[in-house]
Chains A and B, each alone.
Chain A
Amino acid sequence: MEPPTVEGGGEGGPTVGQATGSGPGRILVAVYALLALAATGRSILQISEYFHRAPVAYLLSALAAVIYLVATVALARGGHTAVRVATVSCSIELVGVLVVGVLSYVDTAAFPDKTVWSHFGAGYGYVPLVLPVLGLLWLRRHRQSR
Chain B
Amino acid sequence: MLLPLSIVLLVLCAVLALGAAYYLLRHSLIDDRLLAVAGLLEVGLLVQLVVGLAHAGDIGGADGATFVAYLFTVVIVPPFVVFLAIKEKTGWAMGVILVGAFVCAVLIGRLEQVWGMAHA
Contacts and interface: CB of A to CB of B under 8 A. Distances in A.
Indicate, yes or no, whether A interacts with B: yes
Interface of A: 1, 3, 7, 10-11, 22-24, 26-27, 29-31, 33-34, 37-38, 41-42, 45, 48-50
Contacts of B66: 45
Contact of B87 (A1, A11, A37): A11
Contacts of B85: 26
Interface of B: 61-62, 65-66, 69, 73, 76-77, 80-81, 84-85, 87-93, 95-96, 99-100, 103
Where chain B touches its partner, the secondary structure class is helix
Nearest to B65: A45
Given A26-B84, A37-B76, A45-B69, A50 B95 contact: no
A37 B84 contact: no
Contact of A26 (B61, B62, B96, B103): B96
B90 A23 contact: yes
A15 to B, nearest CB: 14
B69 A26 contact: no
A2 to B, nearest CB: 9
Contacts of B93: 26
Contact of A3 (B73, B81, B90, B100): B90
A29 B84 contact: yes
A34 B77 contact: yes
B82 to A, nearest CB: 11
A114 to B, nearest CB: 12
Given A27-B99, A38-B73, A45-B66, A11 B89 contact: yes
A48 B96 CA distance: 32
A42 B81 CA distance: 21
A71 to B, nearest CB: 16
28 contacts: A3-B90, A7-B90, A10-B89, A22-B87, A22-B88, A24-B92, A24-B95, A26-B92, A26-B93, A26-B95, A26-B96, A27-B92, A27-B96, A27-B99, A29-B84, A30-B80, A30-B96, A30-B100, A33-B80, A34-B77, A37-B73, A37-B76, A38-B73, A41-B73, A42-B69, A45-B69, A48-B65, A50-B62
